[in-house]
Structure 1
Amino acid sequence: MHQLAKRVFYAEYIKCLETKKPFYLSIPEDVVCKHCEQQYKFTCSHMINVDHDLTKYFDKIYLEKHHNGFIADVLLQSERNGILFVEFAVTHRCEEEKLNSGIRILEYTISEEFDINSIKAHKFRSNDYKIQLHNFRSRAQKQSIHNKNCKQLINVFLISNNQKAILHEIKANIDMKSQIRGNPPYVEVLGIKYGNKQAQTLLFIKKVREANFNKIPIKNCYLCKFHGINGVDNAVFCKLKKLPTPSNAAADCGKYSPMKSMEECVALDAKNEEAARKFKPRNMMRRRSSWSQNY
């Protein structure tokens, strides 16, 4: 079986070289997608299978060739790309000394004659459990691999003309302008959406306060000195109304009173959290279903 495998590989590879047909090795590689780099200012990483035509890398082939004290079942070589050992394991795997030599090795396990069909098909897939790659270097590529099925979500922070704020989720595979209603005066792309609802709420609060202290027109309950701890489903508890309310209610509130510094905001947050630990009103939990789910 061992002799059959390496001689079939040798004959098929020679045939590919002579007829200029490919002999593929499919390798999973890290690819950095740059499709959203210009519009959204971020890239994302993906693992994709890349087909490499071995005949483009190695134009010489030898059976049972000696190299650096080792004997390869099949040795592929070129002046530009060096050496690749192709080893066929039937009764035993490559010895540790050969694997630790630093030489690139493609090891293919043969357990039955059917396994030779991959050789005749001129394609090895490295995700096949029968194939092991040793001493190969993975090089991250940067290219646009975006497609219409991309499910990446992006966070965009918006402030409208009426000074209300929203943390908006948009799809990376659709133009941003078509996903945003109206013409908001302030739009900030925050990058890939991550974290649970609590993390998203904290991000929203952070951006609201940053915008305010950067002199961007905004009114929000998270800036008001009368806001309490976050209510159920992220509503803000208003100490004046004694009720949870959407944070954008501040835009229409006659008693809105914004804090004057980030330090004041942080101090109020700590005070609210301390109060919440001491007092958990049961009637608030009973009213959960009727509370607003808006920030």
Structure 2
Amino acid sequence: MEYRNLGKTNIKVSRICFGSLTMGPLQANLPIETGANIIKYAYERGINFLDTAELYDNYEYIKEALKTIPREKYIIATKSYSYSEETAEKSLLNALQKLETDYIDIFLLHEQESEHTIRGHYEAIEYFLKAKEKGLIRAFGISTHRVSAVLDSLKFKEIEVIHPIINKFGLGIQDGSSEEMIDAIRKAYEKGIGIYGMKPLGGGHLINRVEEAFEYVKNIPYLHSIAIGMQSIDEVDANISLLEKGNIPKYLKERLGKKTRRLIVQDWCIGCGKCVKTCKHGGIEIVEGKARAVTDKCIFCGYCAAVCPEFCIKVI
């Protein structure tokens, strides 16, 4: 496994980051022990970097895995929508307590859109910077689906890490193309910011072109690491093979090829529209009083499921 320093943070991460969203309640909802064992297997194969978020509600998996993974050798990035000192403190304490750890390696503000949203969350940023001084976090940054947020983040010296969406066809980029995102990432990289990309397979839409899609992001020189969702041992092996060999063994491809990702809306949906307001990709709509996936726009993140008051949405 190849490792790179994450910008100027002095944090060394594996080229593959374990995307943990897919194993948790918003998607596969694996048993805790099963998910923890996949995390541990990935670590044994060299993946020392994991991405999570408060929204994912999956800290229990990571806590269980950390019972055998040496904490000082494992890099954890988490995210929250904190906007004030109070919400930032709540999110950080929640992560520390649920993970049973003394520090978080990287804490990000989730889904930032521009200079305006960053400034609107500045009270939370100030709290996280104080937490960094106390050793409770090691680095601070943002995640985003927008080119504008990557560029605007360069105005803030406090931002050390950026977690942007990037894939060959620009799926999920809300305000530009892949080329525009790469140019923004390059500018951040040249300033010494740590960058790890997300959604290299476009939330699952590029699974049928997985080798081509992964090769594209692997060859972007400005990405220190690539976060990709994993919910099985086979997926861990496949992703490592993509990184190291550029392909997936035939037997693995056949097993994984049987799986397709779908967004399911149960019959008891009341059509409240909270999912539509949450989705910034236009990936879900209300038709005849019920929610329905917009198949060519949904990136299967499951964020809509997190806000559904009737618990009727799930990514499988």
By the TM > 0.5 criterion, same fold? no
Larger Rg: 1
When normalised by structure 2's length, the TM-score is 0.20
When normalised by structure 1's length, the TM-score is 0.21
Structure with greater proportional strand content: 1
Structure with greater proportional helix content: 2
Select the structure with the greater relative contact order (CA < 8 A; seq sep ≥ 6).
Answer: 2
